[in-house]
Amino acid sequence: MPAAFIGHGSPMNALEHNRYTEAWKAFGASVPRPRAILVISAHWYINATAVTAMPRPRTIHDFYGFPRELFSVGYPAPGLPELAAEVSELAEPTWIGADEDSWGIDHGTWSVLVHAFPDASIPVVQLSINADKPMDYHLELGKKLAPLRERGVLIIGSGNVVHNLRGMNWDLADNGFVWAKRFDEDAKAQMTQAPADIAELDSHRDFKYAVPTPDHFIPLLYLAGLADAAGQATDVMVDGYAYGSLSMTSYTLDLDGLAPGSHGGNAKPPAAGEAPPDASNI
């Protein structure tokens, strides 16, 4: 089974139809039908490593300040409790807790899956990001999950390589600042040549601007770990920038037949006064 990292951007992409969402749709149509989807979302960033283990995960609208229409989006995919047990077994001796009732499917997951797998019939399980662990921990955990690919599980990391909400400029709807482009291009060189070394970007001169908090960057490490386990590099699914300080770059692993994304054409920015508050979708 292939694997991917998706640069999910704004929650509004759940409602938009742009070149990023078209790439996600094409990705969903290109992969074999998965037994289940395991997502490492930037938006489940907690002080523990946990996996959802409920049969019917709820749709979580983990943001504020967006249009009412976005809060009406549901993604009623089933869960798969037995997959939670498989994840825990593969991770040993790392402990992974089973979350049977507190989390669900957050917008880092459903804003992508509504395009990639719109019928919501494939079981979805989420793996949390442990905020207390260093980058190498996440890279290694990604490697440990590699056998799931042979069991028909589609593993997706969902975040953004560059994610600086405080730096956003609404006049740069489809462009990036120089530092954002520089960091994203260096990350791209790493992911397409030597993904196992991606954590070394924490010493990059632009890291503190591109990754002011690690929550959106860490999901990329899981794909890098899977790529390292496979002895392969990754391919760019689609790339681009939004509002100066967001990278929309997405990657695939072991996927043939998906047309690469083109440059340009980001979603239209909100009208003046309609921008959500800062940190509203962290």
pLDDT above 50: residue 116: yes
- pLDDT, tens digit, for every residue of 21-68? 999 999 999 999 999 999 999 999 999 999 999 999 999 998 878 889
- pLDDT, tens digit, for every residue of 144-174? 999 999 999 999 999 999 999 999 999 999 9
Determine contact, residues 97/50, Cβ cutoff 8 Å: yes
Counting residues of the chain whose pLDDT is more than 70, the rounded percentage is 91
pLDDT above 60: residue 217: yes
Taking the whole predicted model, whether its pTM rises above 0.75 is answered as: yes
